[in-house]
C-alpha cells in the first residue's frame, strides 16, 4: 500500500510547494489534485489493507497527529480535498476522515489522535510509524 501511494503521489508532492513557472504560466493546484485523485483506485488500495491501517492513518492525521510532518500535511490536505470534491472516494474512507475531525474538535488536546486506535484496533501502528514506512518503501 505504501509503495502504491508513494508511486502515485510523486506529482502531488512536487506540486505541494510554490514553483516559478514564469510570467505566462500559472500553476493550477486544483487541477493537479483532481488529476491525481482520478488516477487512484481507492477500492484496490483498501482491499490490500485488511488491518484498516489506511483508515487509521487518515483518522489520526485528521485528529491532529504529526502536525509538523510535511508528508502528513500533504496527505491530510489531499484527503480533505478528496472528501470535499471527489464522487469516487469510498464512504468508509470519508468516514475515517470525518471521525478524525470529530476527535479533533478539542484542539487543545494533543493526543486526540489516540482515539483512532480504539476505532481501528487491528492496525497497531501510529501515524508516525506509517509515515516512516511510506518513506522507506516509497523509494523502491
Which pTM was predicted? 0.76
What percentage of the chain has pLDDT greater than the value 70? Answer: 74
- Structural domain count of the chain: 1
Question: Residue 67 belongs to what domain range?
Answer: 50-137
The 10s digit of each residue's pLDDT in 80-135 is: 988 998 888 899 999 999 999 999 886 666 788 999 999 999 999 999 999 999 88
Q: How far apart are CA 109 and CA 51, in angstroms?
A: 26
Within a domain: residue 99? yes
Within a domain: residue 104? yes
Torsion (CA) 14, 74, 127, 65 in degrees, nearest 10: 150
Within a domain: residue 23? no
Q: How far apart are CA 32 and CA 10, in angstroms?
A: 12
Nine-digit cell at 131?
Answer: 509515515
Within a domain: residue 36? no
Within a domain: residue 33? no
Higher pLDDT, 20 or 28: 28
Amino acid at each position: 500500500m505504501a509503495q502504491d501511494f508513494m508511486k502515485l503521489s510523486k506529482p502531488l508532492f512536487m506540486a505541494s510547494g510554490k514553483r516559478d513557472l514564469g510570467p505566462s504560466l500559472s500553476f493550477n493546484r486544483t487541477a493537479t489534485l483532481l488529476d491525481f485523485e482520478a488516477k487512484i483506485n481507492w477500492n484496490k488500495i483498501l482491499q490490500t489493507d485488511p488491518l484498516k491501517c489506511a483508515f487509521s492513518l487518515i483518522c489520526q492525521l485528521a485528529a491532529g497527529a504529526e502536525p509538523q510532518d510535511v508528508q502528513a500535511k500533504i496527505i491530510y490536505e489531499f484527503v480533505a480535498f478528496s472528501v470535499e470534491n471527489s464522487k469516487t472516494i469510498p464512504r468508509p474512507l470519508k468516514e475515517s476522515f470525518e471521525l478524525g475531525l470529530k476527535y479533533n474538535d478539542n484542539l487543545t488536546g494533543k493526543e486526540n489522535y489516540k482515539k483512532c486506535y480504539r476505532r481501528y484496533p487491528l492496525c497497531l501502528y501510529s501515524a508516525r510509524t506509517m509515515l516512516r514506512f511510506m518513506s522507506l518503501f516509497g523509494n523502491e
